[in-house]
Structure 1
Amino acid sequence: MSTGWSFWVMFLVVLNMGTTFFLYLWGPRAKIPTLPDGTSGHVWAHGVLREGVRPLPLWWVLLSGAMFVAGFIYLALFPGFGNFRGVLGWTSHGELANAVAANDARRASLTERFKLYPVEQLANDPAALQMGKVLFEDNCAACHQRSAKGNMTLGAPDLSDDDWLYGGSGNDITTSIHDGRSGVMPPWASLGADNVKNLAQYVLSLSGSPHDAAKAAAGQPLFATCAACHGADGKGNQALGAPNLTDHIWLHGGSVADIEKTIGEGRQGRMPAWNPRLSDDQIRVLAAYVYHLSHQPDGDKP
């Protein structure tokens, strides 16, 4: 801090500690006028309660004195009196650096062990899962939620099920985190409003959802436009990130309005690449945690 601020802090310390120390020394010696019965003359409840005057107990005097001694010792050993660094030379930056170094040393030994196993096996390691959970909450939860259930508003998929846009193997998940993913569903409003509605009904029929059979039949020939990405059977294509349309899992919502909007206006999704922020070792641990989330028994899933 600047010299001016240093002197201001020193002034406040001297003022506060000096005032309280003076009161500590003066208080036990102060002469308070008292009545013959030993009270101060202050009464309450029509004289039923009277204020007595007693000397401070010895334990209070000794404890308060010890607090002043501790305060003076602290100011001598640690920073607190302006720019005086303290006899020990302690700094918060140094304390943080030591803590980071100690944590890095502990983490390095774990990381070396983690390198020995594939992601699928690492997903069963409690230490790796603990580290992966922290990495997930710090970097992924903003879009996928802490529960990993995803967010339809953002188009962030549910990571706790076994449905994958780009593959759910350890290598696939690692690649998704490391390099990121970009997906584009082009808008098909050019088909016309009625055709978009018919096509939406056919898409609903693929998953066995309630639908209008007549409109679905009219929309079936139009699905040839979609088959290039989603496949003729609507099973999707993980190489392209085209979702499976035959299940009941919807990235942007499965209502009639949601599907019509997806077809008519298109969708764009982007999973950012995390390799600039996370090391390769951290990405592997994070991939193991995500893999673990989707391979738990249903009762244990978040």
Structure 2
Amino acid sequence: MSTGWSLWVMFLVVLNLGITFFLFLWGPRAKIPTQPDGTSGHVWAHGVLREGVRKLPLWWVLLSGAMFLSGFVYLALFPGFGSFKGVLGWTSHGQLANEQAANTAKLEPLMQRFALYPPEQLAGDPAAQQLGKVLFEDNCAACHQRSGKGNQQLGAPDLTDQDWLYGGSGKDIATSIHDGRAGVMPPWASLGEQNVKNLAQYVLSLSGSPHDAKMAAAAEPIFKTTCAACHGPDGKGNQALGAPNLTDHIWLHGGTLADIETSIHDGRQGHMPEWDKRLSEQQIHVLTAYVYHLSHPDAGAAD
């Protein structure tokens, strides 16, 4: 804090305390004109309600004085009076660092035990699940939801099924969390509106969904010369590219005809941020096990 800001804060503190102290001393001694019946003369409800004038109760005066003194004690012990650090030398950063260090000391033995097992085995450990759930809700639930069911509007995949864009092994999941993923489905509006509609029908046919067979047949050559480069000639996708499998009934951005036409016409972009800047390697290991557990709830517990 600069000297100017420090002086300004000190001025505000002194001003507010000064006004409060003046009112505290003046209030009990203030003379309020009263009527013979002890009221101020203010009436409501056609005289039914009259404003009375009474002295402040002793308990209120004593309590207010104690609160006023506690304010001075606080300013002496803790920072608050300009740049004065307080007698105790307390800082929020220091308290946070101490609490983090204490928490780390408690977690370290547990983390060392977790490191002995691969994510696939650690996924069954109740302690790892508990910690992983906290990490997931703090960092991943904003997109994937607390349940892990994903969000089609954001293009965040469902993590509770066994359909994986980039692979579902412990190593693949750890890489996704650590490095992030960037998926791009290019727009194909240049193919023409009719071809986009035909392709949407062909994509529906790949999963056995109701479709227009004539339009799908017309789009098959286009799919195999254009879309197959990423999704494969059979439409089963490519995990190396993050191209989804089109032959199942799991859709990242929705599986209605309108959704599919939009995906083909406008393209899609997805971004999974990297978490290695926020989470430690140990935390990523536990989080990987938890994500694996979401789709493998019966995974064996670590011995």
Q: Which range, TM-score by smaller chain?
A: 0.7 to 0.9
How far has the Cα of 1:236 moved from its partner? 3.4
Q: Does 1:94 align with 2:94?
A: yes
Identity percentage of aligned residues: 80
Which range is displaced more, 134-143 or 154-163? 134-143
Scaled by the length of structure 2, the TM-score of the pair is: 0.78
For 2:135 and 2:21, locate their aligned partners in 1 and report how far apart those are by CA, in whole Å. Answer: 50
Over residues 65-121 of structure 1, what are the superposed CA-to-partner deviations in whole Å (9 max), with x where a residue is unaligned? Answer: 222222222222222223332222222232222223223333333322221222123
Residue type at the aligned position of 1:119: P
Task: Return closer, same or farther for 1:71/1:177 CA change in 2, 3 Å cut-off.
Answer: closer
**Structure 1: 5+ residue stretches without partners:** 298-302
For 1:273 and 1:104, locate their aligned partners in 2 and report how far apart those are by CA, in whole Å. Answer: 23
Structure of greater Rg: 1
For 1:167 and 1:149, locate their aligned partners in 2 and report how far apart those are by CA, in whole Å. Answer: 17
For 2:10 and 2:155, locate their aligned partners in 1 and report how far apart those are by CA, in whole Å. Answer: 56
For 2:153 and 2:289, locate their aligned partners in 1 and report how far apart those are by CA, in whole Å. Answer: 26
Q: Does 1:284 align with 2:289?
A: no
For 2:228 and 2:175, locate their aligned partners in 1 and report how far apart those are by CA, in whole Å. Answer: 26
Which range is displaced more, 153-162 or 189-198? 189-198
SS state at 1:17 partner:
helix
Task: Return closer, same or farther for 1:35/1:189 CA change in 2, 3 Å cut-off.
Answer: closer
Per the alignment, residue 249 of structure 2 pairs with 248
Residue type at the aligned position of 2:25: L
Task: Return closer, same or farther for 1:17/1:271 CA change in 2, 3 Å cut-off.
Answer: closer
Residue type at the aligned position of 1:208: G
Residue type at the aligned position of 1:69: L
How far has the Cα of 1:263 moved from its partner? 5.0
Residue type at the aligned position of 2:8: W
Over residues 200-237 of structure 1, what are the superposed CA-to-partner deviations in whole Å (9 max), with x where a residue is unaligned? Answer: 43332221101112333444455544556545544334
Residue type at the aligned position of 2:85: R
For 2:48 and 2:271, locate their aligned partners in 1 and report how far apart those are by CA, in whole Å. Answer: 78
Scaled by the length of structure 1, the TM-score of the pair is: 0.78
Per the alignment, residue 113 of structure 2 pairs with 113
Q: Superposition RMSD on alpha carbons, in Å?
A: 3.5
Task: Return closer, same or farther for 1:249/1:63 CA change in 2, 3 Å cut-off.
Answer: same
1:120-199 pair list within 5 angstroms: 120-183=120-183, 197-199=197-199
How far has the Cα of 1:248 moved from its partner? 0.9
Larger RCO, structure (CA 8 Å, separation 6 or more): 2
Which range is displaced more, 28-37 or 275-284? 28-37
Per the alignment, residue 9 of structure 1 pairs with 9
Task: Return closer, same or farther for 1:143/1:57 CA change in 2, 3 Å cut-off.
Answer: closer
